[in-house]
Every structure is written in C-alpha cells, then in structure tokens.
Amino acid sequence: MRNTIAVMNTKGGVGKSTIVLAIAETLAAQHGKNVLVIDSDAQASVSAMLMATTSLRKLQGDGRTLVDYLVAAVLRDTQVEWTDFVVGGVSDVDDARSVYVMPSDMQLTLFEREVSKESLHGRLRASIGGLLSRARIVFDLVLIDCPPGLSVLTECWLREADFHLSPTKPDYISVCGLDVFSRFKQLNPEMGFAENLGVLVNMKDRQSAEDEEYHRWLAGNPDNRCFEQVLPRMNALQQAARFQGEERSFGAKYPGEIGMAVRGLAAEILHRLAVADAALTSNSTPQQASPQRGAKRPLEPGAASARTAPSAVPGGGSVSAGTTTNGMGAGARPVGAGAGAAKPG
C-alpha cells in the first residue's frame, strides 16, 4: 500500500502542522496505526507540538534531527541509519503511543542553501527517495509536514511521496496558493509527482456566507478532489497544538465536534488510500503488481511515554523523546552504519 503523504500548500497559515498532528494522533489512537511524522519545516512546529520544548532542544543539540540526517547523507555523502533520527514516545495523547517523528531544526534553511550552492539536487532527491522507500516498510503511514513556498527540499518530497494533501482556508489568498501549487505540478511532468489525495478545507466558519461560497467553488472543481470532511474553525483544534506535560485522553484533546471532525478526516484518508491502492493493483498485470511489503510489527504492550521511559519502535529497538534507535521493521533494509553529522553553518 502506498502510504507516504506530503502535506503542502504554498500559502502559509492554513494549518498544515496542526492538521498533521491531528491526523497522526487520530490514526494512532483510533485506528492503531504506526505513524511517522517527518517535520520538514525549519520552524519545527509539529515537532514542538509532539514533545516538550526541552526534549526538542536536546535532540537538536545532540544532532538527531532531519537536518542532521540530510547533512550526513547529502552534503557529506555518508551512509547513516535513518532510524537513528526517528524519535518515539512523543504526543501527549495516552492512546497515541505509536506516533513517531523525525524532528526539524531552524538550520534546515542553511542546509538547503548548501545543496543549491554545491548543486547537489540529484543527491538530495535520491536520499529523500531512499528514506521514504524504507519508511514505507516500517510504518503504516508517513506524513511529511512541508513548509509554505516551494524549496528544493519540498520539491523532492512532492516528487518522491506517493500522495500530496493540500489544506486550505476558504478564502481568496489561500485558494491562490493552491493555484500556484497546481501550476507548479504541471512543470516537468517527466520528473514524476505525488498523486493528489485531495484538498482539505480547514478553519471554515459555518456562519460565513463567504466561506461557504469559496468552499462550493473549491468542491466544484473535480481536480481538487475535495475531502467531504471539513475542519471547522474552532479554538479546540488550535489549543490541541499546545503540548502538555501530562498525558490526556484523545477525547480530552479533541472534544465534541472537533473530535468528530478529525475522526471523520482520518477515516476518509484511510478510505482514499485503500481505493487508490486497489485501483493501482487492478490496473497492473500480475508481473507488474508491486510486491507485498514486510509485515509491520505492533508496538510492545504497555509502552511508556517519552516523559517516563522509552517506547518500542515498530520492528524492535527502543526510542524516546531524548534518544533515538536503529531498530528496523520487518522487511526493512539497513541504510548503513554511521552517526549523524554536524549541522551546516
């Protein structure tokens, strides 16, 4: 099953990181999925939503972020274990113990500058493709939180991921961001591009006639493949973005209407992935059909949170918000030996 999703809109402020957080925690808590969040935004927003600030700062200081992985793999052309940069025991939802993250760092911007300076775009894309090919095997779903705008790294995610999901607010500027993204997608089709999983309308004010008009306009374009589920403008979803030191239930974090909305969204995502996978299989001959990926091992029963003890990584090993692991899932192939390199700059 194709299971890597780049969450992207060229317009900022549409709630991408909050949506990635909600999807990951809902899939883990409500569907028992092992979910990897790759934070590809230099602001590290979703990383900060998944763990305490002190834990994030420690990981950044110890060189255990996505930036450090990419510096080693791309700038230094060194083989490294990608799982050394995957952190578990994150999320403050007690039933979401199967959420993992590759945290980010503000020096991601400096890394991209070095890639352009040294003309290492091909090596960067190969590294991103290799990372996703291995993560597909270990995790049920991989969510990539892309920053606004179109950078060399974001382009790699969009060309190597299986799908892209585009959140938008129902307003003029956010819709313009979708238009820019659509025109970019049409460039260099021979280079490949993620399949459109759908446009998600976020922060909709149900009392606003203007929001309803923009929503109808978006849904009227079949190319958008708008999700049936809409995320309403509610303070509860914004408050969910704030990490709490003490665990809470899924219902406490996503209460009432917003809880129903994120559960509906997660179910619709899983349905669309299954339909896309079935369509791909039916259009393939037996010789062309993709081989079955290795079975994913569930988390060990009773795995503790990052605030107490390390939790199990899918496939073995242990990891916490202050440590990393090189445990691999069934069927996974090791990336190679070596530790993360220092950040650029």
Q: Which residues contact 178 (CB under 8 A, 6 or more apart)?
A: 9, 10, 11, 166, 168, 199, 218, 224
Mean pLDDT, the chain, rounded, equals 83
Instruction: Specify if 108 maps to a domain.
Output: yes
Domain membership flag for residue 140: yes
DSSP string across 246-304: S-B-HHHHS-HHHHHHHHHHHHHHHHHHHHHHHHHHHTS-TTTSPPPPPPPPPPPTTPP
Entry pTM: 0.83
Residue 239 maps to a domain: yes
Q: Which residues constitute the domain of residue 176?
A: 4-279
Chain Cα centroid distance, residue 247: 22
Place of tokens 């969910």: 240
**Do the strands 318-319 and 231-232 form a parallel or antiparallel pair, or are they unpaired?**
unpaired
Over the stretch 9-46, which tens digit does the pLDDT of each residue have? Answer: 877 888 899 999 999 999 999 999 999 999 999 999 99
Report if residue 329 sits inside a domain: no
- Whether 307 maps to a domain, the answer reads no
| Percent share of the chain, pLDDT over 70 | 82
Joined tokens for residue 335:
């990336």
Q: Where are the alpha helices (DSSP H) in 166-255?
A: 172-185, 209-219, 235-240, 250-253
**Residue 107 domain-assigned?**
yes
27 within a domain of the structure (yes/no): yes
DSSP H helices, 34-140, are 45-50, 53-61, 66-70, 108-117, 121-138
Number of domains in the chain: 1
Q: List, for residues 207-254, the tens digit of each pLDDT value.
A: 999 999 999 989 998 999 999 999 999 999 999 999 998 999 999 999
Q: What is the mean predicted confidence (pLDDT) over 116-137?
A: 96
Query: Quick check: helix, strand or coil at residue 102?
Result: strand
Which pLDDT score is estimated for 336?
30
Residue 141, strand partner residues: 35
| Residue 313 covered by a domain | no
Q: Which range is least confidently modeled, 121-125, 312-316, 322-326?
A: 322-326
pLDDT in tens, 58-85: 999 999 999 999 999 999 999 999 999 9
What confidence tens digit (pLDDT) does each residue in 183-215 have? 887 887 778 888 999 999 998 998 999 999 999
Question: Where residue 195 sits, what CATH number does that domain have?
Answer: 3.40.50.300
